[in-house]
Amino acid sequence: MSREFLIWLGALVVGALIALFYLSSAASAQESCGPRRQVIDALREHYGEVERGYGIETGKKATVLLLLVNEETDTWTILRVQPDVACGVASGTDFTLLFGDPA
C-alpha cells in the first residue's frame, strides 16, 4: 500500500471516530422523561429530594423548571415539567442555599 493511501485511511478512521463521539454525546444528552407525579415521587423515595423552587422557562410553550433538593445529602435535580410529563434536565451534588443579598 502506498503512503498516501495509508494517510488517507488514517484520516478516514479518525474522522469516523470523531463523528461517532459526537453522535454518542448527542444521544446521551437526551432528557429522561416520565409521568410527572411518578418522577417526582421516585426522586423523593430514592434520593430524599423534595420540591424547593421553580421558575418559568419562556418560549413557544411556557414550561416550569422545578428544583428538587435533599438538604441532608445536598443532592439536587432540575426537572422540566409540563402538566403530565416531567423530564430530568440536570442533577448534581453540593447544593447550597444562598441567603441575603448577592455580593
Distance (Å, whole) CA 43 – CA 81: 14
Give me 30's grid cell: 437526551
Number of domains in the chain: 2
Confidence band of 23 (pLDDT split at 50, 70, 90): very low
Give 6 or 33, the one with higher predicted confidence.
Answer: 33
Domain match, 22 and 57 both: no
Domain match, 50 and 39 both: yes
pLDDT of residue 98: 79
- The answer to whether the CB of 82 falls within 8 A of the CB of 43 is no
Please give the residue range of the domain that contains residue 47. Answer: 31-97
pLDDT of residue 83: 86
From the CB of residue 49, how many other CB atoms can be counted at a distance below 10 Å? 23
Element (H, E) at 32: strand 32-35
pLDDT of residue 97: 79
Q: Is the pLDDT of residue 19 over 80?
A: no
Distance (Å, whole) CA 80 – CA 88: 6
pLDDT of residue 31: 67
Q: What is the pLDDT of residues 28-85, one digit of tens each?
A: 445 689 999 999 999 999 999 999 999 988 876 778 999 999 999 999 999 999 888 9
Whether 102 is covered by a domain: the verdict is no
